[in-house]
Homo-oligomer: A and B are copies of this chain.
Amino acid sequence: MDFSSKLLEQAVNEMAQLPGIGKRTALRMVLHLLKQPETQTLAMTKALEAFRTQVIFCKECHNLSDIPICEICSNPRRTNEQICVVEDIRDVMAIENTGQFKGKYHVLNGIISPIDGVGPQDLTIDALVEKVKQGEIKEVIFALSATMEGDTTIFYINKLLQPLGIRVSTIARGIPVGDELEYTDEVTLGRSILQRIPYEDSLSQ
């Protein structure tokens, strides 16, 4: 692309680094900003900067949070006996939307995926095991995508949890195999939490 303005070119190039955004789409977005009041662009950049520099991970569950212990973890009406293990924040949002889970979460911040170079050491697995060792947790519920990577991650973590003598379950395979968890509808997702099965049983299929 041949730009008549360096300022335009730089703005487009930066936007085009976002996932799923090509140069053409980036150009359309940037030209759109030009038709809106300057304040809109500044509000957007301020929000992005504040998010990127100030957001933190909850010390308990590793979910994104504005405060050291997130609202879910500090909610006294939620039980500490059940921990739902998820890949990332979008899965927490999806499960919260179902209203079917009253325990707490543990966000792995990824799943084991050798192809993407993500190994166990890149995830918050140690923190999860430590948390379970403290003794209050009675059940760990895996709510990961029904993919090879998800299954591998469950298999790996389950081996670490086995000696600790707690219940380990996975959400029911109401989710079509191969589908991403975050795109599952609320009813299916809610039901799959209620109908979770022991991890051993989930292998016998």
Contacts and interface: CB of A to CB of B under 8 A. Distances in A.
Interface of A: 1-8, 10-11, 13-15, 17-21, 25, 27-34, 38, 40-55, 58, 63-66, 70-72, 88-90, 92-93, 96-97
Contacts of A6: 66
Most buried by B among A14, A27, A50, A52: A52
Contacts of A19: 28-29, 32
A88 B31 contact: yes
Secondary structure dominating the interface of A: helix
21 contacts: A1-B93, A2-B96, A4-B58, A4-B64, A5-B64, A5-B65, A7-B54, A13-B47, A14-B43, A15-B44, A18-B32, A19-B28, A19-B29, A30-B51, A33-B48, A33-B51, A34-B64, A38-B52, A42-B49, A44-B48, A45-B46
A5 B89 CA distance: 10
A65 B4 contact: yes
Contacts of A49: 41-42, 45
Nearest to A26: B18
Contacts of A66: 5-7
Nearest to A16: B44
A89 to B, nearest CB: 7
Most buried by B among A13, A49, A70: A49
Contacts of A34: 51-52, 55, 64
Nearest to A182: B24
Given A4-B92, A41-B49, A41-B53, 13 more contacts: A4-B58, A4-B70, A4-B71, A8-B55, A10-B51, A14-B43, A14-B47, A18-B32, A19-B29, A20-B29, A21-B29, A42-B49, A42-B52
